[in-house]
Amino acid sequence: MSKKGIHFEISERKILLRIFDVVSIFVVLYFVSNTFEFDYFTITKENWRWAFVLFVYISVFGTIFELYDLQKSSKIEKIATSIVFTVSITVLFYFLTPFFTPVLPDNRLQILYFYFAILFALFVWRIAYLTFIVSPRFYKKVLLVGETANIQSITEAFKHADPNYKIVGFINCEKKKSDKIKFKGIIEYSPKQIYQVIKDENISEIVIASYNSQSITAEIYRDLITLLEGGFPIKEYTQVYEDMMQRVPVQFVGKDFYKYFPFSRSNHNKLYLFFQRLFDILVSILGIFIGFLFLPFVLLGNLIGNRGSLFYVQERIGCNGNIFSIVKFRTMVKNAEVSGAVWAKKNDSRITPFGKFLRNSRLDEFPQFLNILKGDMSLIGPRPERPHFVRQLSQILPFYETRHIIKPGLTGWAQVKTRYGSSVDDSLLKLQYDLYYIKHRSFLLDANILIKTLSTMIFYRGQ
C-alpha cells in the first residue's frame, strides 16, 4: 500500500486558521514594537492580559465576519473584505476598552502602526495559506464505492463543502451493471483495480456510498475488510456527509433510520434546559426593551410605507405539534393571501419596500420575543412553520415532523446556514440542518449560532 499524502481535515484547517491568525499578528506586532517607535502594544509577562483580549477580539469578530469560512478562505478576493472588517472592528473595540487594554495613545501614528500591523499580518498569512495549504498537494483524495445513482449528488455536495476533498474515482458495486457511466472529473474503476488505484492515486480514504449494503459484492467486501484490517480509513458516506456539510442527509436514510438519529443528550439534560430557558427569558426581556426603542421608527415607516396594521398574527406549529400564535411586524401588503397560503419567495411582490427593509434587518422579528417570554418559542431552534405547509411537507419529506420534538426558535442552525426557503427542495435543505441541530445540540453549538446570527444581520441577509 502506498504512503498516504498529507492532508488537513475541515476542523484541522479551521483550527490552523485561528492559531496562525493570532500567531502572525503577535509576530508582526513584536517586530514593529522592536523596529519602530511603537510602544502602545508590547508583549511582556506583565501585559499578558492585553494579548489575551486581542486574541478574544480577533476570534469573535473573525467568526462574525466569516474569516474562518473555508469557502471564502479559499480565494483572496473573497476573504479580503472579511479581513478588513475584522481588523477594523477589532482595533476599534480594542481602543474603546482601555480597562482591559492599553490606554489610548496620544500619538495617532501609534494607532496607524497598530492597525496596519494587524492588517499586514493577516494578509501575509492568508496568502501563505492559499499558496501552501489550499493546493493540490494537500488535497484529500477519495475513492467512492457504491451504486451509480448516488455518486453524482454526493460528489457535488462534497465539492461544495470542501474544495480540498477530491473524489478521484468510483467503483460500481452493483451486480447488474449497465454500460460505463461517465461523470465529469470522476473515473470508474473495476473492483479488481482497487489496490492499484489506491497506490497510483495516493488515495487517503474510501467512502462507501451504498444505499443498500447488500448490493456490495463478496469480492469487494473481502477487499474492504483486508484494507480495514491494514489500517486504511473506510467511512460510510452519510457520516462523512454529516461531518462535512453539518446537516443530516435524510434523503439517504432508509429503514434503519434509528442509526442516524442518536439525538443529543442536551434535549433531556435538565441543567442545559434550565440555563437555556433562563437565557431565553433574559434575552427576550432585553429584546422587548430594544424593540420599544425602535417602535417609533417602525410606526412611522409602517404609516408611510405599509399603510395598514402594524402587527400580524399567524398560527404556527410549535413543540410536540402544538399550535401557537406568532407575532411579527407586518411586511406584506394587506390581503396578501386572499387566495390562500402560498410560499414566500425571494423578491416577493407582496412585500412592501419598508417591509423588505424590516425583513433584511430582522426588525420584523422583534415582536417574537413576546413568544419566547411566554415559552411558545426559544431563542434557538427550528423555524416554526404554518400548519398548512407542515401537513404538506410531512407527506413529502421523511422525518419532517421530527423538527417538533424541541421548541421552535427565533434563529437556528438552518436560518444561519441557508437563505430563503421557498420550495420543497429548500425545505429539505433546512430540515437537514434542523435535524443536525437537534442531534448535536449543545452550549457550544448555540454560541456558534448566535455569532453567525450577528454575521447574518451585519451582512444584511435577513429573510
222-251 pLDDT, tens digit each = 999 999 988 898 988 888 888 888 888 887
Reply yes or no on whether the pLDDT at 178 is more than 70.
Answer: no
Calculate the average pLDDT of the chain: 84
260 domain residue, yes or no: no
Starting at the edge strand that comes first in sequence, how are the strands of the sheet with 187-189 ordered?
Answer: 187-189, 165-172, 140-146, 205-209, 234-236
Task: Output the CA angle 117-122-128, nearest 5 degrees.
Answer: 125
Which amino acid is it at 195? Y
**pLDDT for position 84:** 94
Distance linking the first and last C-alpha atoms of the chain: 51
The CATH code of the domain that includes 219 is: 3.40.50.10700
Domain boundary among 133, 151, 171: 133
Least confident stretch, 198-207, 285-294, 346-355: 346-355
SS (H, E, C) the chain: CCCCCCCCCHHHHHHHHHHHHHHHHHHHHHHHHHHCCCCCCCCCCCCHHHHHHHHHHHHHHHHHCCCCCHHHHCCHHHHHHHHHHHHHHHHHHHHHCCCCCCCCCCCHHHHHHHHHHHHHHHHHHHHHHHHHHCCHHHCEEEEEEECHHHHHHHHHHHHHHCCCEEEEEEEECCCCCCCCCCECCEEEECHHHHHHHHHHCCCCEEEEECCCHHHCCHHHHHHHHHHHHCCCCEEEHHHHHHHHHCCCCHHHCCCCHHHCCCCCHHHCCHHHHHHHHHHHHHHHHHHHHHHHHHHHHHHHHHHHHHCCCCEEEEEEECHHHCEEEEEEECCECCCCCCCCCCCCCCCCCCECHHHHHHHHHCHHHCCHHHHHHHCCCEEECCCCCCHHHHHHHHHHCCCHHHHHHCCCEEECHHHHHCCCCCCHHHHHHHHHHHHHHHHHCCHHHHHHHHHHHHHHHHCCCCC
108-145 pLDDT, tens digit each = 788 888 999 999 999 999 999 888 877 666 788 889 88
Reply yes or no on whether the pLDDT at 346 is more than 60.
Answer: yes
In terms of domains, do 213 and 316 share one? no
In terms of domains, do 439 and 397 share one? yes
In terms of domains, do 40 and 90 share one? yes
pLDDT mean over 168-172 = 86
Least confident stretch, 69-73, 383-387, 424-428: 69-73
**pLDDT for position 263:** 75
**pLDDT for position 123:** 96
In terms of domains, do 291 and 355 share one? yes
In terms of domains, do 179 and 271 share one? no
2 domain residue, yes or no: no
- The pLDDT-based confidence of 13 (bands split at 50, 70, 90) is confident
Which amino acid is it at 209? A
In terms of domains, do 273 and 384 share one? yes
In terms of domains, do 84 and 227 share one? no
Residue pointed to by grid coordinates 496562525: 20
In terms of domains, do 383 and 406 share one? yes
234 domain residue, yes or no: yes
Burial class (CB in 10 A: 0-12, 13-18, 19+), 192: exposed
Query: What pTM was estimated for this model as a whole?
Result: 0.79
In terms of domains, do 157 and 119 share one? no
- The pLDDT-based confidence of 287 (bands split at 50, 70, 90) is very high
| CB neighbour list of residue 74: distance below 8 Å, 6 or more residues apart | 130, 134, 163
Of 153, 144, 129, give the one whose Cα is nearest residue 76: 129
**Cβ atoms within 10 Å, residue 45:** 5
377 domain residue, yes or no: yes
Q: Are 450 and 63 in contact (CB under 8 A)?
A: no
308 domain residue, yes or no: yes
Residue 165: phi, psi to the nearest 5? Answer: -95, 105
**pLDDT for position 459:** 67
Domain boundary among 133, 158, 187: 133
42 domain residue, yes or no: yes
Looking from the CA of 309 toward its CB, the CA atoms found within 13 Å total 9
Domain boundary among 115, 133, 151: 133
277 domain residue, yes or no: yes
258 domain residue, yes or no: no
181-216 pLDDT, tens digit each = 566 668 888 888 899 999 888 898 999 887 666 677
**Cβ atoms within 10 Å, residue 170:** 26
In terms of domains, do 279 and 338 share one? yes
30-69 pLDDT, tens digit each = 898 888 877 788 777 777 888 899 999 999 999 888 888 8
In the chain, the number of structural domains is 3
Range of the domain at 143: 139-245
In terms of domains, do 325 and 384 share one? yes
Distance between CA atoms of residues 128 and 125, nearest Å: 5
In terms of domains, do 95 and 71 share one? yes
Of 398, 374, 388, give the one whose Cα is nearest residue 343: 388
Reply yes or no on whether the pLDDT at 462 is more than 60.
Answer: no
270-282 pLDDT, tens digit each = 899 999 999 999 9
Alpha carbon of residue 437 to chain centroid: 11
